Amino acid sequence: MSSGGALEAGALSILEDDPLWYKDAIFYELPLRAFYDSNGDGVGDFPGLIEKLDYLQDLGITAIWLLPFYPSPMRDGGYDIVDHRAVSPEYGTQAHVRRFIREAHRRGIRVIFDLVANHTSDRHPWFQRARRAPRGSVWRDYYVWSDTPDRFSGVRVIFQDFEESNWTWDPVAGQYYWHRFYHHQPDLNLLNPRVQKEILRIADHWLRMGVDGFRLDAVPYLVEKDGTTCEGLPETHEVLRRLHAHIDSHYPNRLLLAEANQRPIDAVNYFGQGDECHMVFNFPVMPRLFLAVRTEDKLPLQRVIEEMPPIPENCQWGMFLRNHDELTLEMVDPEERQLMWDVYAVDTEARINLGIRRRLAPLLGNHRRRIELMNALLLSLPGSPVIYYGDELGMGDNVYLDDRNGLRTPMQWSADRNAGFSRAPSQRLYLPVLNQPEYHYGSVNVELQLRHPHSLLLWMKRLIGLRRRYPAFSRGDIRFLDSETYSVLAYLRTLGEQVLLVVANLSRYVRYANLDLAQYRGWTPVELYGETRFPAVAEGRYFMSLGPHSFYWFRLEPPPG
Ligand code: BGC
Ligand code: MG
């Protein structure tokens, strides 16, 4: 069966019929309410997003990951859902969703939604029914219950600034219910076949509308069992395999992208044998990128990438620097975590749970070269990059807002009232716009940056364009080169005949690199930004000097003949 959604979208779309499209994709993550408010109620919405699709197409991104837009009491940014198959009225209607997908496809942009299978809001009708249903009934068993808070003891608490336990007493049920996140988000019981069916129904609903896949929220925690860590259990992988098989047999070219904040060895399990998730976020590499630019030592970064287990042919890592959550430090060693806190969250207000609630630009001290360097690494290391909305402008944050809201403030479109985001009275905005001098929307905004040839936005656009021109960035192998300098990271990305060379100076000082390019004697490095031809590789090592935090992208051209 080919889905109605795919046919409908196909008529207008310029998308290639490519089951591996995500390998070359450049994702853009955005919370709907933060993007553009079309009706002046202070909240971004689908018609607003549709109006801004031209902006995204122009930026060059090829896929949108849209955060949850389902009805929700909004106590966890919309991850606390009361109806997974509906649209929250402030955002629009199902017809708007269809139009959005169609309009995105028309511009060559794919769309993935968030699928939250681990938990619901406690206001979800399933939970309201469960707490009143008899013990042991299928309805009660939609969730995970216990008579004591000692069950599954030893399982870590994730939101440790907010919750003391993963159990909360429910006086109506007369039992404790299990929750890996906020206490108002009870975990679904994926061991209940009915619950599994419900998840497939939710997926079908959006896939039929033509969505290109899902970002799967919190997958390690789907299934819990006594005597285990309740993370990444065989039954959890079974659920993912079933979802994959279901989608594969009904809809062409769809993607499952897993959020699995785990160590490398566990994270790769979510690819399965190529039969679970097509993509998995690379949580292990992310904090090491930040450590590398700060310690000016490439080795820990290089090592974690080199030691990454191989992944199935049809799979791809999802690379990111920042997202809508805190920069998580759960999976780094305690010393590394302390170092990250010491250098990136001196202001303790910036710390939350085991992480740092800051955007990219403030983390990097608003240092333009460091911002460029980090983005150049993001777009040239193996994996498909995911850019967080506003980071292409160098947007700031507001650590004084509650929870992670400081990274979710309105997109800054112009110097107009409310940053051009909304015509509502400013007190009515879902969150205030940023107005601290350094990141004020009067100077950090799309309109200005489009006019200013040296803006970060236009620089990002060129970087994205270059990345798209060279498939070796997206599908190539990686090999690190000796550079004779511990702060100069150098690697080759190769795909068939295409050979790319990346050289990056992590240091704030001028450095040199003496590269071992013996294998490419006679080849000419051509710098991609300026199409500048460098001297051909001769005998011995290849020497170059690099300014502070500078990086070069070259292609290597073979000698003529
Ligand atoms: C989402 C968070 C959310 C949590 C609980 C996460 O993985 O990214 O924003 O708070 O799931 O739903
Ligand atoms: Mg609105």
Identify the CA nearest to 236 among candidates 208, 205, 262: 262
Ligand 1 contact, 281 CB (< 6 A): no
Residues 6+ apart with CB under 8 A from 250: 1, 3, 204, 207
The model's pTM: 0.96
Give the span between the Cα atoms of 367 and 359, in whole angstroms.
13
Counting ligands in written order, the one closest to the CA of 429 is 2
At residue 100's C-alpha, the angle toward residues 97 and 104, to 5°, is 145
Identify the CA nearest to 63 among candidates 24, 102, 98, 121: 24
Share of the chain above pLDDT 90, in %: 96
The SS3 assignment for 496 reads coil
516 carries an active-site annotation = no
Ligand 1 contact, 24 CB (< 6 A): no
pLDDT digits (tens, 9 = 90+) for 94-142: 999 999 999 999 999 999 999 999 999 999 999 999 999 999 999 999 9
Q: Which of 217, 224, 372, 397 is catalytic?
A: 217
Compute the distance from residue 201 Cα to the ligand 1 centre, in Å: 22
Compute the distance from residue 99 Cα to the ligand 1 centre, in Å: 27
pLDDT at 228 over 70: yes
Identify the CA nearest to 52 among candidates 357, 414, 466, 408: 414
Compute the distance from residue 430 Cα to the ligand 1 centre, in Å: 19
Give the span between the Cα atoms of 213 and 110, in whole angstroms.
9
Q: Helix-strand-coil percent breakdown of the chain, rounded to 5?
A: 35, 15, 50
pLDDT at 481 over 80: yes
Q: Mean of the pLDDT values across residues 526-548? A: 96
Give the span between the Cα atoms of 334 and 337, in whole angstroms.
5
Residues 6+ apart with CB under 8 A from 21: 15, 110, 212, 253, 255
Element (H, E) at 360: helix 360-363
Q: Mean of the pLDDT values across residues 7-26? A: 80
Rounded to 10 degrees, the C-alpha dihedral 296/301/302/304 comes to 160
pLDDT at 78 over 50: yes
Give the amino acid at 159: F
Give the E-state strand segments of 450-538 in sequence order. 477-480, 488-495, 498-505, 511-515, 524-527, 532-533
DSSP state for residue 188 in the 8-state scheme: B
Give the span between the Cα atoms of 267 and 232, in whole angstroms.
9
170 carries an active-site annotation = no
Which ligand 1 atom is the nearest neighbour of the CA of 261? 7
Give the span between the Cα atoms of 456 and 436, in whole angstroms.
19
DSSP structure string for 31-72 = -HHHH--SSSSSS--HHHHHHTHHHHHHHT--EEEEPP-SS-
Element (H, E) at 447: helix 446-451
Identify the CA nearest to 32 among candidates 143, 99, 113, 141: 113
Give the span between the Cα atoms of 408 and 310, in whole angstroms.
34
pLDDT at 12 over 90: no
At residue 313's C-alpha, the angle toward residues 310 and 317, to 5°, is 60
pLDDT digits (tens, 9 = 90+) for 396-436: 999 999 999 999 999 999 999 999 999 999 999 999 999 99
Two tokens, residue 341? 């806190």
CA distance to 33, 104, 213, per residue, from 323 (Å): 15, 22, 19
Residue-level pLDDT at 13:
75
Please give the span between the terminal C-alpha atoms of the chain, in angstroms, as a whole number.
51
pLDDT at 10 over 50: no
